[in-house]
Structure formats: C-alpha cells, structure tokens
Amino acid sequence: MSADLEKMSYAELLALQTKTQELIAQQREQALIDVVAQVRELAEKNDIEISDIISKLGGNGSGEKTTKNRKKVEPKYQHPTDPNVKYSGQGRKPRWVLDYIGTDKYDASNPEHVAKIGELLID
C-alpha cells in the first residue's frame, strides 16, 4: 500500500486525505450512535436514568462539563502601603509583589526574594 501512495501525485494525496477524513468522521459518528444505543440499553436493563449517568460522568445534561464550586482561598499577602490590596499566594504573582521584591520574576531559591515576600505576609 505504501508503494501505491508513493506513486500518487500531490493532488491525488490531498484528495485521498480529504476522503479519508470524511470517512473517519462518518465512522466516528456511527461508533458514537452505537455506543449511545448500548448505554441506553444498559440503562433500561438496570433501571437507571440517563441523566444519572451523565451526572456521574461530570456533565450537566447539556453536553458541557459542570464547574465545581471552589472554596475561596484566603489572602496570604498584603500590599505594603494599601491594606485593601491582597494576594492569595496562588497563581501568577501580581505586579505590586514583583515591584516590591524588585524583580520581574520571583525566584524561590533566592533568599532575598523569599525574605522580601515574607515581609508581605498577613499576620
């Protein structure tokens, strides 16, 4: 088969690629239909609602994943001059923290950086 492909022109290979992608999409759709039918059959057989299966899979029935309620993280650091500006210590460091440290990038292995950020800790 690979010898046959090597004899094909660029245009023929592109046409083959297009046709292959179409067939893959059709086959995937048919496989999806078959799986859905099997799931429905199993659900009926076991007296289980499809919505229960979807929720166990992490969906909300609309095909979209549900977002879990996240616990709010308490702030760990406070701006040196404005106590209303705080930072939880998670995610990207705010510009004011980096400015206070005197760098563009925080380095946890640098004792000066660690000491400076320690000064911002909320008591």
Query: Are 43 and 82 members of one domain?
Result: no
pLDDT tens for residues 97-109?
999 999 888 898 9
Q: 64 lies in a domain?
A: no
Total-model pTM: 0.44
**Which residues constitute the domain of residue 15?**
8-56
In order along its 123 residues, the chain shows pLDDT tens digits of 666 899 999 999 999 999 999 999 999 999 999 999 999 999 999 999 988 888 888 766 565 655 667 788 899 999 999 989 999 998 889 999 999 999 888 898 999 999 999 999 987
Domains held by the chain: number: 2
Long-range contacts of 112-121 (CB under 8 A, 24+ apart): 117/77, 119/80, 120/77, 120/78, 120/79, 120/80, 120/87, 121/76, 121/77, 121/78
